[in-house]
Chain A
Amino acid sequence: MNRFEYVSPRTFAEAVAVLAPKEGDVAKAGGVDLLDLMKEGLLAPRRLVNLLGVAGDDLRSIGHRPGDSLRIGALVRIADLAKDPTVRDRFAALAESAAHVATPQIRNMATVGGNLCQRPRCWYFRGIKFPCLRKGGDLCFAVDGLNRYHAILGGGPCYIVQASSIAPALLAFGARIRIVRAGGEREIPIERFYVPPDDDVERETVLAPGELIAEVIVPDPKGTTLSGFREYREKQSFDWALVAASVVLDVDGTMCRDARIVLGAVAPIPWRAAAAADALRGKTLSRETAGQAADAALRGADPMAENAYKIPLARSVVFRTILRAARRIVPGDPEA
C-alpha cells in the first residue's frame, strides 16, 4: 500500500471544498471497499479525505415525512438502516437488503453512500495482474475465463455484476440521489446513477471527481405497498449474492396495481425486470402469476460457459421474493 496524506474535515462543506477535483484525492467513509482497493493495488490515493469526522447529524440520520419521503444520509451505517423501524415497516425490501450485507462487523462500519459506490468484485478486475477492460486494458478475461459469478443479463463488453445489496431495493422504490460538489449539487434518479459497461466500461457510477453523495431520497409509497428482498448465496455466512431480488408491489386486495422488480448480482447494473413487472400488473397475485413474472424476468438472459445455473436461480429468487413481498395477502411463501 502506498503512503498517503490523511485529512479529516470538520464539516461536510469543508469536505466538499477539500475534495474539489484534485488528482489523487479520495473520499473515505467506512473505508471498507477502499482498504481492499488500496491493498489490491487498484487505488493509490495521494490523500484520503475522511468523511466520518464531519460534525452534525445531517449525513448520519434517517428522516421520514409521511406521505412525502424517506431521506437517508450518506453516512448512515448499513446496520442502522437495517434496524430502523420506519424502514422496516414501510420499506421492508430496503431493510432486508441492508440486513443481508456482508457481516455484522462490516454493517457496523459500512455506510449507505459507500455501499452504493463500491467497485465490482469481479476477480479479474480485482486482480492487478489482469489488465482488463475496466482497468483500461483491452480484454474482458471473464469471457473466455472463469465466469461462474458473472453477468447473465446486460453484460458486454464487460461482465461484472453490480455489487451493492441495497441499490436494487432503492431502485425498486424509485429513490433519487442527491450529489454535492464544490459550488453546486444535482439530484438524479438512482436508475441513472449506475453506468452500464457499453456506455463507459471504466466506471460504475456517474459520480464525477470531487462529487459526493449527500443523501438518498426515497418517495413514500402510496396506497398499500408491500415489498420484500431475498438473495441466494453459496455460503450463508459472509458471501456475495449469486442472485438477489427486490420486489415492490402496489396492491388493491390481492390485485397487483403496480410492481417494480429489480435484480441484483445478475447484471453490471441493478437490473430492472420490466417484463416481470408487466406480467404482474393488473393481475391477481398468486403462485401462478408470480411464476409467470419470474419466467418473464429471465427472458433474454445470455449466459457464458459457467454461469447458466444463475438463470434458474434468478427465476427462483424472483418467484420467491414476489411471494415474500405478498405474504400477507397470498399464502404460500416457501420460506415464510
Chain B
Amino acid sequence: VTVIIHRDGRVEARNGAQDIGTGTRTLVALIAAEELGLRVSDVEAKIGDTSFPVGPASGGSVTAPTLTPAVRDAAYHAKRKLFEVAAPKLSAKPDDLAAAAGRIFLGSDPRRGLTWKEACALIEGESIEYTGERSPNYAGYRGGVAGVQFADVEVDTETGIVRVIEVVAVQDCGRVMDRLLVESQIIGGVLQGTSYALFEERLLDPATGRMVNANMEEYKILGSVDSPKITAIPFDVYNGMNNIGCMGLGEPPVIPTAAAIGNAVYNAIGARIRELPITPARVLAALAGRKG
C-alpha cells in the first residue's frame, strides 16, 4: 500500500485490491485516516488498478486482514516523514509530535501545533510518499473465527413449504473496524445460507450431464419475500494479533445458516432432512417417513 501526502493536504492511499462489495475501499480510507488523525472523507482510497502496489485477491475471507495492516504501516511511515518536515517549525523533535483531529502538535503540549494543511505546506517538492508492507501477525494470532446462529422457521406440514422467519447470527470477527460493514457481511452470509438451505441446487440431466437450470430463473435464489428477519451481532474478540486487531469475515457467516435452519426444521416436524435444499418434496417425504 502506498500512502501519499500532498503539499496541498490531500491524502491518497493506493492499492491494487478490488472492492467486491465488502467495503475494501472504505477500510483503506478508514485506517489511513485513523493513523493520520484525519476524517475518513479526507483520504482518497484508490484501489483496483494494476499500476498500484500489488494487493490480495478478493477471496478467502482475507482481504481486510491482509490489506489493512499494510495501510496502517504505510500511513504510519508517511506520517513520520511529515513529522520530520514539521518538527523544525514547531521547534520540536519528530518523535515528540502527534497527529489527531486534523492537527500536528506536540504530545506534551497540544496547543503548540499546526493544522494539517499548514504542516503539509512545508513539504518540499510535491508530496511525501511511503509504500508500506504487511508484516507478519504478532504472536498469539488466531485466524480461525467462530460463529453461532439461531433460526426460527415455520413449516407447513400439509405442503412441506418452509419459511425462515428469523435468524440471529453471532459472529466472532476480531476488531470491528466499521459496524455497518460487519453487519452487512453477516447479513449477506445469512441470506446466502438461507438460499442454499431452501432453494439452490445445480440440476444435471442424468442422460446428457447437461445442467438444466443454468439461468437465473430456474436456478433458484432467495428473493426479498423469502428473506428472514436477520439480527447480526458482531462479537469483538481479541484474537486478531496484528496492528489492526483484525480477522476476516467474508465467508464465515455463511457456514452455520443452513445447519441452523435444518435443525429448526427438525425441531418443528420431528424428522431430519439430510439433503439440501429443503424443498417441499423432501419435507413431505421426511414427514411420510416419520409417520411410517
A residues engaging B (CB < 8 A)? 36, 121, 123-124, 126-127, 129-130, 141, 144-146, 148, 232, 234-239, 242, 306, 309, 312-313, 316-317
A123 adjacent to B218 (CB under 8 Å): yes
Q: List 30 A-B contacts (CB under 8 A).
A: A123-B203, A123-B213, A124-B212, A126-B218, A129-B208, A130-B205, A130-B208, A141-B205, A141-B207, A144-B206, A145-B206, A145-B207, A146-B205, A234-B161, A234-B220, A234-B280, A235-B198, A235-B199, A235-B225, A236-B226, A237-B224, A237-B226, A238-B223, A239-B220, A309-B160, A312-B284, A313-B159, A313-B160, A316-B159, A317-B159
B residues engaging A (CB < 8 A)? 158-161, 163, 198-199, 203, 205-208, 210, 212-213, 217-218, 220, 222-226, 279-281, 284-285
Residue in contact with B158 in the complex, picked from A126, A148, A316, CB distance below 8 Å:
A316
Q: Shortest beta-carbon distance, B76 to chain A, in Å?
A: 48
Closest-by-CB residue of B relative to A317 is B159
In the complex the two chains form, what is the Cα distance from A46 to B217 in whole Å?
27
In the complex the two chains form, what is the Cα distance from A309 to B199 in whole Å?
16
Which residues of the other chain, A, contact B205 by a CB distance below 8 angstroms? 124, 130, 141, 145-146
Which residues of the other chain, B, contact A235 by a CB distance below 8 angstroms? 198-199, 220, 222-223, 225-226
Q: Shortest beta-carbon distance, A146 to chain B, in Å?
A: 6
Closest-by-CB residue of B relative to A311 is B284
In the complex the two chains form, what is the Cα distance from A141 to B208 in whole Å?
10
Closest-by-CB residue of B relative to A233 is B161
Interface of B, secondary structure class, is: loop
Q: Shortest beta-carbon distance, A222 to chain B, in Å?
A: 33
In the complex the two chains form, what is the Cα distance from A146 to B213 in whole Å?
11
A313 adjacent to B226 (CB under 8 Å): no
Which residues of the other chain, A, contact B222 by a CB distance below 8 angstroms? 235, 237
B161 adjacent to A237 (CB under 8 Å): no
With A236-B223, A236-B226 known as contacts, the answer to whether A148 contacts B212 (CB < 8 A) is no
Which residues of the other chain, B, contact A232 by a CB distance below 8 angstroms? 159, 161, 280
In the complex the two chains form, what is the Cα distance from A301 to B25 in whole Å?
58
B199 adjacent to A237 (CB under 8 Å): no
In the complex the two chains form, what is the Cα distance from A280 to B210 in whole Å?
46
Q: A145-B205, A237-B223 are in contact. List 16 more A-B contacts (CB 8 A).
A: A121-B217, A126-B218, A127-B210, A145-B206, A145-B212, A146-B203, A234-B220, A235-B222, A236-B223, A237-B224, A238-B223, A239-B220, A309-B280, A309-B285, A312-B159, A313-B284
Q: Which 3 A-B pairs have the closest CB atoms?
A: A237-B223, A309-B281, A123-B212
Closest-by-CB residue of A relative to B281 is A309
B226 adjacent to A144 (CB under 8 Å): no
Q: Shortest beta-carbon distance, B195 to chain A, in Å?
A: 9
Q: Shortest beta-carbon distance, B283 to chain A, in Å?
A: 9
Which residues of the other chain, A, contact B163 by a CB distance below 8 angstroms? 236
In the complex the two chains form, what is the Cα distance from A236 to B199 in whole Å?
11
In the complex the two chains form, what is the Cα distance from A234 to B198 in whole Å?
8
In the complex the two chains form, what is the Cα distance from A177 to B223 in whole Å?
35
Q: Shortest beta-carbon distance, B209 to chain A, in Å?
A: 11
Residue in contact with B199 in the complex, picked from A144, A146, A234, A313, CB distance below 8 Å:
A234
A313 adjacent to B280 (CB under 8 Å): yes
B225 adjacent to A237 (CB under 8 Å): yes
Q: Shortest beta-carbon distance, A262 to chain B, in Å?
A: 19
In the complex the two chains form, what is the Cα distance from A126 to B213 in whole Å?
10
Which residues of the other chain, B, contact A313 by a CB distance below 8 angstroms? 159-160, 280, 284
Most central of B210, B212, B223, B225 by chain A CB within 10 Å:
B212
Q: Shortest beta-carbon distance, A235 to chain B, in Å?
A: 5
Which residues of the other chain, B, contact A237 by a CB distance below 8 angstroms? 222-226
B159 adjacent to A236 (CB under 8 Å): no
Closest-by-CB residue of B relative to A316 is B158
In the complex the two chains form, what is the Cα distance from A312 to B283 in whole Å?
12
B220 adjacent to A312 (CB under 8 Å): no
Closest-by-CB residue of B relative to A148 is B281
Which residues of the other chain, B, contact A124 by a CB distance below 8 angstroms? 205, 212
In the complex the two chains form, what is the Cα distance from A126 to B203 in whole Å?
14
In the complex the two chains form, what is the Cα distance from A265 to B129 in whole Å?
66
Q: Shortest beta-carbon distance, B142 to chain A, in Å?
A: 39
B280 adjacent to A242 (CB under 8 Å): yes
Q: Shortest beta-carbon distance, B90 to chain A, in Å?
A: 62
In the complex the two chains form, what is the Cα distance from A317 to B213 in whole Å?
26
Which residues of the other chain, A, contact B161 by a CB distance below 8 angstroms? 232, 234
In the complex the two chains form, what is the Cα distance from A312 to B205 in whole Å?
26
In the complex the two chains form, what is the Cα distance from A141 to B204 in whole Å?
12
